[in-house]
Structure 1
Amino acid sequence: MAGLLFLLLASALNAQENIKDEIMEGVDGHFYNLRHRLDVLEKKIDDVLWFKRVGDVAHIDKVFLAGAPPAHADRATTLAGVNPVKFWSYVFIPKGMDPSNKYPLIVLPHGGVHGDFNTYYTHIIRELMAQQYIVVAPEYRGSTGYGRLTYELIDYGGLENADVNISREYMIENYSMVDENRVGIVGWSHGGMIALMNIFEHPGEYACAFAGVPVSDLVARMGYKRPAYEDFFSAGYHIGAMVHENIDEYRRRSPVYHADKLATPLLIHTNTNDEDVHVLEVQNLINALKAEDKKFEYRVFEDIPGGHSFDRMDHAEGRKIRYGIYKFLEQYLDPPVRFRNLGEMERAAYRFN
């Protein structure tokens, strides 16, 4: 009898644990979905801020584009799973331009794993508008601020690169003032990686590229980042495997393994105190390009304040470094307005010098 009572008690306790697990799973799912709803709200607020912060110098728009089907379309059981991925791209056009003329285009992919293009780039956009560059900034698959579905479509180092190039194609096909022969691509961090992959995959489509602190080697990166970082990549809706389980897939997505494809003028920046993309990771890319006897420019900065964000910062050193980036770009893109000195750039961005 005692044995029977013990079994009944154990069964009841086990059932309670199962119910508890189900409740916690439901709570976790609720908060996961809520987080995405809050991200959508934050994105809508930031979109309003764009008009406040650069509306005096730019015509601002967002266009809705279609890319390739999801990376895992072969697993899909519905039309939504095989249809082209839909995504937004920001468009900034300088005020005062003559639409009968031709203007250079800057493709500006944002950084971050699940990042987004936001008013963090305000001063950079103001600086580009002053030079009369047209800018397209793609919110490629996996970007934050568009809900859970877009977030989980992430394809880091994969089809996101195609989304960015589709944005370039869209601008050329739909804006008659864009000069298809004067297109540059500029990005930092993950955006720098996308810039590299685009010039490797489409060498004839871009006149030049700037890659700031670019993610360069996912294999090495997984070795020095925290486990939570690798979780972004091993998620079932993404690569679905850790680096040691599918090293070839991680290599395929890493610029360092495509160095032989460089055929576009390129400038690379890195910083020795970068806390996100370690200087050694970028140095590996630089060494790989040198081993392929490629012509390119690079600078390894020493302990510039800001670490990973050093040349996007608003301090004096950051401004001077950005001025140098624009001097590199203008060699190949011939913008209608060139900064004659640092003071002109500062007045464009901050209205002072």
Structure 2
Amino acid sequence: MTDDALSYPRLSARTLRFTLGVPRAVTVSPDGGTVRFIRTPDGVTRTGQVWEHDVATGVEALLVDPIALLGSDDEELSAEERSRRERSREGAAGVVGYDVDETGRWATFALSGRLWATHLGTRATRELPSEGAVIDPRLDPTGRRVAYAAGGALHVVELADSAHTTLVAPSGETDVWGQAEFIAAEEMDRMRGFWWAPDGRSLLVERFDDADVPVWHVASPEHPERPAVAHRYPAAGTTNADVTLWHVTLEGERTEVVWDRAAFEYLARVSWSEHGAPLLQVLSRDQKRSQVLSVDLASGSTSVLRETTDSAWIELGAAPRWSPEGALVTIEDVEGRRRVVVDGTVVSPEDWQVRGIVATFADSIVVTASHEPTEVQVVRVGTDGSFEPITQGRGVHGAVIGGETTVVSRVSLADTLVHHTVHPGDPAVESDVAPATLDNVAAPLPLVPSVHLLSAGAHAIRTAVLFPTGHTPGTPLPVLLDPYGGPGAQRVWASARAFAEAQWLADQGFCVIVADGRGTPGRGTAWDRAIHHDFAGVTLDDQVEALHAVAAAFPDDVDLARVGITGWSYGGYLAALAVLRRPDVFHAAVAGAPVTEWRLYDTCYTERYLGHPDEEPEVYDRNSLLPLAAGLERPLMLIHGLSDDNVVAAHTLQLSSALLAAGRPHTVLPLSGVTHMTPQEVVAENLKLLQVQFLRDHLG
């Protein structure tokens, strides 16, 4: 079957939502002469290759081809690597990440569980000796050796002679060195577990022990001959992994890094550069206190450089770091916004919400930030309080900087492409040299999203509205809300490609509404904290507010007597909540992988927003779906992957049991062999078609 004949859901799954063929993992060499990135050979092949772009000539060249390295052999992934990719929501294959040393001589990557290194001068790639399935290889900054994790141990390989050393190894089955524990990877956006010293002679290495973390079992009911898979899952209120950090020399000498782990249980961020001592950010279990610490390598002791508190929670962001001049740079919530702080002094404007750090210089910090929450700009913040936008226009921008070269990424409402522009100099300064672009070979979208962006209701909720292609104004349509709606994820952007699936849903005969209510990122402290202890109230109220605002804006195109809602993960929770609590507004729901009982979700995420279940049981009861089961009076479809190890299938099964006990009819669609992601083409296609049919049947 040709791509032209495929349904949108099938094509979306085949192209990983049209991300295959788009440059990703972009880096710039320290001298600014070379841009490197991962790109698949076309828009449907999942095998990532490493490419390089010569800034002077604009010529692209293939640097690493996994097929040439592996031949006809199939790629093999360890259970640990599959878990790591699940945590990072990585669905591609081949090379999915790489590391380049600061001298610009070497690159390293893992492929099929094996260790590889590429000499960048000769473009020659060779396999290095390794033990076990390789995870997250990293070059030392001087370009002499590679460290990698495997089998719970941390290993080092010399590039000159391939000598192999195991630096630290586990002492038991639950002891792991050099990897991020589940909570760090899933909920704190920290995927790394070791960090090289600037001189390449030692490392900071995480060790975690899961011995006291509860054991859960994920079964495969479709294969009764197979035993259930046991894994450690720190559910809300239970014990986390025991996490420590060690300074380990190449000779194997170990010194534990000491901080008040009883008061600050979470190791949230680590950075180490030539500009100063290693920096840590640690976080209390209730996430209301945070410290930035410097590490004394000789003794392992730490000193407190910054301490912040919040009555609700500390929002994690970019890792604290030293500027080249030795100033401490942090991102903190100050006076209602995320702002750049240098040695305790706020330097970014009060009306900009900082999202991340791009690069740190002696006199400035380049960050991504939002003035309008649906847009992201790259801006330069001076340590003297000066402020200079580097990008402009209605879109979502990012940047990578190396030497004098800046690569700017941009998506916008103007088209459905991702653009990567290579600027040999400062993008904010006009130049006689035209910027180059990185080739994008992604499959074209088979539709063109037509997006109406609104600031809806009293809370100015950023809301996207999409009608069927060719819709005749004045024709009332059933409404379909398609939110995520919870903390940590934003759906409404000034980006046409962000609404490809929403447009497809609209083309099935709906007015589709995507709304980012309170709690979603990008709007400041008060906006974030409005959901504290109140998922079920605030996030649902905001969806209703957005719905009514859309109906007021398009009174002849929206039929409020036919309103459905669909969502996945937190969006699934919100969809089920909508028909359980507000059947006067919502007439049908499809809830995918919903969190139905927050006591079954993990410690860090859940306790951040709802507190500890032993201390706040009424908060958990108030936000649970299970006590609402008897009130179901609208059609509800529950969908869940039976191999999901994040939002386990028990969520759906417990709600289904409660609904059955209350005599409430509902539909359950179990997905055999599917995790929290659904990348399989046939599953993804039929899943979407079944959802649409369910909604059509019940909304008309």
Give the alignment's TM-score, normalised by structure 2. 0.38
Aligned-partner Cα distance in 1 for 2:415–2:375: 13
Corresponding residue for residue 38 of structure 1:
355
Structure 2 counterpart of 1:174, one-letter code: A
Q: 1:286 to 1:318 in 2, by over 3 A?
A: same
Identity %: 21
Aligned-partner Cα distance in 2 for 1:43–1:170: 18
Structure 2 counterpart of 1:62, one-letter code: L
* Equivalences for residues 125-140 of structure 1 within 5 A: 125-140=502-517
Q: 1:243 to 1:108 in 2, by over 3 A?
A: same
Q: Determine if the alignment matches structure 1 residue 198 to structure 2 residue 566.
A: no
Corresponding residue for residue 230 of structure 1:
606
Aligned-partner Cα distance in 2 for 1:123–1:255: 30
The structure number with the bigger radius of gyration is 2
* Equivalences for residues 188-267 of structure 1 within 5 A: 188-221=568-601, 225=602, 227-233=603-609, 239=610, 241-267=611-637
Q: 1:314 to 1:133 in 2, by over 3 A?
A: farther
Q: 1:29 to 1:297 in 2, by over 3 A?
A: farther
Aligned-partner Cα distance in 2 for 1:131–1:106: 11
User: Residues 251 and 257 of structure 1 are in contact (CA less than 8 Å); yes or no, is this contact kept in structure 2?
Assistant: yes
- For residues 94-126 of structure 1, the C-alpha deviation after alignment (integer angstroms, 9 at most, x for no partner) is 331111211111111115532111578644213
Q: Determine if the alignment matches structure 1 residue 60 to structure 2 residue 451.
A: yes
Q: Name stretches of at least 5 consecutive residues in structure 2 with no aligned partner.
A: 1-293, 295-302, 309-319, 321-327, 333-337, 341-352, 357-368, 377-394, 397-410, 417-444
Structure 1 counterpart of 2:676, one-letter code: H
Aligned-partner Cα distance in 1 for 2:658–2:486: 24
Corresponding residue for residue 307 of structure 2:
25
Q: Determine if the alignment matches structure 1 residue 271 to structure 2 residue 641.
A: yes
1:250 positional shift:
0.8
Corresponding residue for residue 340 of structure 1:
none
Structure 2 counterpart of 1:232, one-letter code: R
Structure 2 counterpart of 1:30, one-letter code: T
* Equivalences for residues 89-128 of structure 1 within 5 A: 89-110=463-484, 113-117=487-491, 122-128=499-505
Structure 1 counterpart of 2:549, one-letter code: Y
SS in 2 for 1:37: strand
Aligned-partner Cα distance in 2 for 1:271–1:145: 30
Corresponding residue for residue 322 of structure 1:
688
Q: 1:281 to 1:143 in 2, by over 3 A?
A: same
Q: Determine if the alignment matches structure 1 residue 157 to structure 2 residue 548.
A: no
Aligned-partner Cα distance in 2 for 1:174–1:216: 33
Structure 1 counterpart of 2:330, one-letter code: H
User: Residues 467 and 503 of structure 2 are in contact (CA less than 8 Å); yes or no, is this contact kept in structure 1?
Assistant: no
Q: Which has the higher strand share?
A: 2
Q: Which has the higher helix share?
A: 1
Corresponding residue for residue 80 of structure 1:
none
Structure 2 counterpart of 1:281, one-letter code: H
Q: 1:38 to 1:314 in 2, by over 3 A?
A: farther
Q: Determine if the alignment matches structure 1 residue 179 to structure 2 residue 510.
A: no
Deviates more, 1:247-256 or 1:53-62: 53-62
SS in 2 for 1:24: strand
Q: Name stretches of at least 5 consecutive residues in structure 1 with no aligned partner.
A: 1-16, 68-84, 234-238, 335-353
Corresponding residue for residue 545 of structure 2:
166
Structure 2 counterpart of 1:44, one-letter code: E
- For residues 148-174 of structure 1, the C-alpha deviation after alignment (integer angstroms, 9 at most, x for no partner) is 432232342221110011112222232
Structure 1 counterpart of 2:542, one-letter code: D
Q: What do you get for the CA RMSD once the two structures are aligned?
A: 2.8
Give the alignment's TM-score, normalised by structure 1. 0.72
Q: 1:149 to 1:290 in 2, by over 3 A?
A: same
User: Residues 111 and 188 of structure 1 are in contact (CA less than 8 Å); yes or no, is this contact kept in structure 2?
Assistant: no
Greater relative contact order: 1 or 2 (C-alpha under 8 angstroms, separation 6 or more)? Answer: 1
Aligned-partner Cα distance in 2 for 1:168–1:267: 21
Corresponding residue for residue 76 of structure 1:
none
